[in-house]
Structure 1
């Protein structure tokens, strides 16, 4: 029997080589996730297909309050959507097995002007830069702890409360070369309202959000369960954002974010998914 290659093919970006893993690697990661969480009491996991409502994970926790009753504690984004559904259903591929070049892309169409390339790198990292036409999933993380916006999930915890309720308001954007598109600096603005830090410009015209019980995400959890309990609200429609404004934001913000994060494999194991109430 012929052996399957670990890496099915490669993508080159400048001098970098991005290895694309085979389906076998992703399957093995899913098997390890199942084995490492079996009978250990892990709650429902994220990300997921927001249009697949079934789930067999019976661990429940209280739904987090509305975001208007919590503190915004962090904003960050992932290249390609971690979730699947709505207007982001085009699979980007298996990626490198570590969360990059995978996830889901905007499934709609852009015009020639919107796709005109820019002359400089946008939010560059060792995994590459962002380009026009790319999809990003933005996480507006909220906490019931008495905290203020800052870097990483650590900004959502405090010495007074290590297990606050967490909520992630989620919006998927597609990057376009259009100065009249949404401005990311504006989309990430926050202010204090009723003594709480609030993100004031999360889009409210991108469809009815899908709410479900899940966890934190990111490729570190491809083979192990996340222990965090998170209430998610994922908007199904994609908004267009000016790529230059994203690049400007990456040059300096209170969250110390300067590049896109990788994605966690879509969680498909029913034993690791909550049921979405309709």
Structure 2
């Protein structure tokens, strides 16, 4: 999700205290709240840290939009392994069924979203905050000197990028700059619908600098749609060419959190 290199709350210092483990096993960080990403089909979790879930996105300010190539979360519609490491994660189930036309790269590797090509799975994060202020680059736009402990909510959709003008236009999900309807709160034009009831749970920030042995201290309410949506890759490139958030490339993924002690229980 959120860029790990940016410090959201400078006054917090996170200490990773490894639990005793067998030789060769990954030690788990202790004392942290529930972590993300997770398999949204698995509801079990044993992390006892509680915090109030953030209000709906419509009652918060959109502060950032960014994306990852390959999904950080695993879900019913994106469960094909893309391997491990910063560029691992999960692919949409129908990736192998794409046609040659859908996989043709109209920009031959020179699109504004650096490295993005047809057939890639993309997980998009719309980050919302309880702080005032307009959207901008990174998590620095989600907090300020007058609001250092915001409630954060991330609306999430996994897309399959295809060369198909009939697929979704990403611009319909961009920041609604100048839209009178968004005058009170910063909001996207719309959030994706029709791709399953979002799975809502308590978690953390993500990104490749975190793992099960190096946890994120930040508290985030997640809302993850369980099925992939096809998006026209040209509309993603147009967004990368000019957007409020200064985004022009995909961010790395944090590997799936599977330890029950690091996951919140879901109803």
Query: TM-score, with normalisation over the residues of structure 1?
Result: 0.82
Pairwise CA distance, 1:193 = 2.9
**Aligned twin of 2:164:** 178
Pairwise CA distance, 1:194 = 6.0
1:166 maps to which of 152, 168, 179: 152
**Aligned twin of 1:24:** none
Greater per-residue strand proportion: 1
| 1-structure distance, mates of 2:173, 2:136 | 16
Pairwise CA distance, 1:124 = 5.5
Q: Does 1:201 align with 2:219?
A: no
Q: Does 1:135 align with 2:121?
A: yes
| 1-structure distance, mates of 2:205, 2:146 | 21
| 1-structure distance, mates of 2:24, 2:83 | 15
- SS of 1:48's partner is coil
Q: Does 1:237 align with 2:227?
A: yes
Paired residues, number = 238
Conserved 8 A contact 1:77-1:136: yes
Q: Give RMSD over aligned pairs.
A: 1.7
**Aligned twin of 2:9:** none
1:31 maps to which of 26, 35, 46: 26
**Aligned twin of 1:257:** 247
**Aligned twin of 1:60:** 50
Which runs of no fewer than 5 residues in structure 2 stay unpaired?
1-22
Give per-residue Cα distances to partners, 1:92-147, cap 9 Å, x unaligned.
Answer: 012xx3x12x000000132332122322323455xxx1111100000000000012
Pairwise CA distance, 1:91 = 0.4
Structure number with the bigger relative contact order (C-alpha 8 A, sep ≥ 6) is 2
Which runs of no fewer than 5 residues in structure 1 stay unpaired?
1-27
Conserved 8 A contact 1:184-1:245: yes
Change (3 A) 1:85 1:57: same
Conserved 8 A contact 2:81-2:91: yes
Q: Does 1:216 align with 2:211?
A: no
Pairwise CA distance, 1:186 = 2.3
Query: TM-score, with normalisation over the residues of structure 2?
Result: 0.85
- SS of 1:224's partner is coil
| 2-structure distance, mates of 1:70, 1:91 | 34
